[in-house]
Structure 1
Amino acid sequence: MFFHFITVNYNNCNFTKEYIYSINSIPLDEGDHVNVIIVDNKSNNEDYRNLEIFCRTFDSVELIRNDTNLGYFKGLNIGITIAKKDSNTLIIAGNNDLTFDKDFLKNLKKIAYNKNTLVIAPNIITLEGRQQNPHVINEVPRIEKIKCEIYYSNYYIGQSLRFINRLFRNPLNKNEKILTNDFGQMPIKRGIGACYILTPHFFDFFEKLDDRVFLWGEEALLSNQVESVSGITLYDPTIKITHHESASVVNIESKKRYDINKASYKIYKKYL
């Protein structure tokens, strides 16, 4: 089989280098091939140069530099466009702050998916042990949609809601048992946006990901793509990834982050 790993770098090449190391540490069966496509979203010259020198040491790594910061899914689509797509190829598209389990490819190859399976959502686990998938199993409850409307009505209202949410969530974070799940393989509405595996059947219908948002809200747009052609997103707990979380956005100022989120929300809210 052929596996394309595609990610986006933006001023955090140290995460990207660890991402590449992680992929190259995964054992391969005879006949399997891995290719890594790094799309740089116009990082500063020092970061890009550092990454460029590093990538030259790997035959299986291809580095592309954009002339501007295109955002997350648009950046991934640059890599998806040039990746080989056939019945024997899987595309693993996602963040650069990921560490892949040694058995990631072995277990991925075991998944018996059918022609309706367009996307596979892996078992993504944070450094604290919190499982981020399944992200949304069924429909989003109406109360959550109302919360979103309130949150995006005003920056200061939104920050107040975030503060209240943290007050209730923090006690739960101390209990890892509450934060883990025992779900087996199952169809879900959507997976967390940190990583998706696109099957060959995805490309029977689409050439690329729906990239109408710059950042955030990608999960809703992708689930809409899948559901629009009666496809499914399949969650599988055996293919594991460690997520370092928000490597590319941690330094974005709070108000700017809110404004980006709100702009995206206007686009994806009808797909919640």
Structure 2
Amino acid sequence: MNSYYDDVSENEFQRLANQYGADFLSVENRGYGYGNNVGITHAVSEYAFQWLVVSNPDTVIEEFSLNGFNPLEKSILAPDIRTLSGKRQNPMIAKRSKLAERLIYLGFKNESRLLLCLGVCANKIIRELFALGCHRENKTVYQPHGSFIVFSLSAIEALYPVFDEGIFLFAEEGLLAWNSAKNGVRVLYCPSIRVVHKQDGSMKFLDDINTQLKDSNIYVYEKILKGENSC
């Protein structure tokens, strides 16, 4: 899957796909959600599988084991993802805090660094408490990091089309987490899959990262709030 950037990268990806006998899909660059949804739709229509991995191009798999996980369950696996500096990226959010969500939203909406920091710190505290026992398999978490996600087929069927295409980049995992909880899809921490995330490889071309981050987080919060109020 290539979200078109330029002819040089497009031609190189096509060459590599031909060399290794892989499917090659080229789509216009309409963001993380759109590109992944196209790839997921292709996989579902063309292949029989139990698990499907959605991965950024800047990740390296160090270990991959699905022992102990049932592919027939509606589940999303959140691997042990580390940056090059060793920073842990999963779970992105260990347990949902509506207070933290509200603080982060108000921080972005009102351009208040204080409120934003309070919300982020609340999530970090919850995350650190989780980390004390994070060696355990099958531990339920709320939000997985989007750089490397493993879906069971039944989870894809429950969430389809899986990602919200109204978001170009950032915060997609927030809606995925909320939709998963709403549709009975469990997000499970999976340290038997270990991934290194080199980071930032897909966003060097963005000149407005701060604006995009703000707009995406506001969009996600307001969409979740609307969904909860309509229930």
TM-score range normalised by the length of the shorter chain: 0.7 to 0.9
**Aligned position for 2:24:** 63
Quick one: higher RCO (CA 8 Å, sep 6+), 1 or 2? 2
- Residues 78-227 of structure 1 aligned to structure 2 (within 5 Å): 78-84=38-44, 88-101=49-62, 103-104=63-64, 107-108=65-66, 110-113=67-70, 115-140=72-97, 142-143=99-100, 145-154=102-111, 182-183=133-134, 184-185=136-137, 186-211=139-164, 212-227=166-181
Q: Which amino acid aligns with 2:169?
A: L
User: Do the aligned partners of 2:51 and 2:71 also contact (CA within 8 Å) in 1?
Assistant: no
CA shift at 1:260, angstroms?
A: 1.6
User: Pairwise CA RMSD of aligned residues?
Assistant: 2.8
Q: Secondary structure at the match of 1:56?
A: helix
Instruction: Specify whether residues 88 and 80 from structure 1 end up closer, same or farther in structure 2 by C-alpha distance, changes over 3 A only.
Output: closer
Q: Which amino acid aligns with 1:78?
A: V
Q: Which amino acid aligns with 1:133?
A: N
What does the per-residue CA deviation read over 1:49-73, in whole Å, with 9 as the maximum and x for residues that have no partner?
Answer: 12222222101x211111x211001
User: Do the aligned partners of 2:3 and 2:30 also contact (CA within 8 Å) in 1?
Assistant: yes
Alignment size in residue pairs: 211
Runs of 4+ in 1 over 4 A off after TM superposition: 85-88
CA shift at 1:210, angstroms?
A: 2.6
Instruction: Specify whether residues 147 and 88 from structure 1 end up closer, same or farther in structure 2 by C-alpha distance, changes over 3 A only.
Output: closer
TM-score (norm 2): 0.79
Runs (5+) with no aligned partner, structure 2:
122-130, 226-231
**Aligned position for 2:211:** 259
Percent identity at matched positions? Answer: 20
CA shift at 1:258, angstroms?
A: 1.9
**Aligned position for 1:174:** none
Instruction: Specify whether residues 268 and 94 from structure 1 end up closer, same or farther in structure 2 by C-alpha distance, changes over 3 A only.
Output: same
What does the per-residue CA deviation read over 1:166-210, in whole Å, with 9 as the maximum and x for residues that have no partner?
Answer: xx9xxxxxxxxxxx7650220001111111111022133233213
TM-score (norm 1): 0.68
Runs (5+) with no aligned partner, structure 1:
1-38, 169-179
Q: Which amino acid aligns with 1:113?
A: N
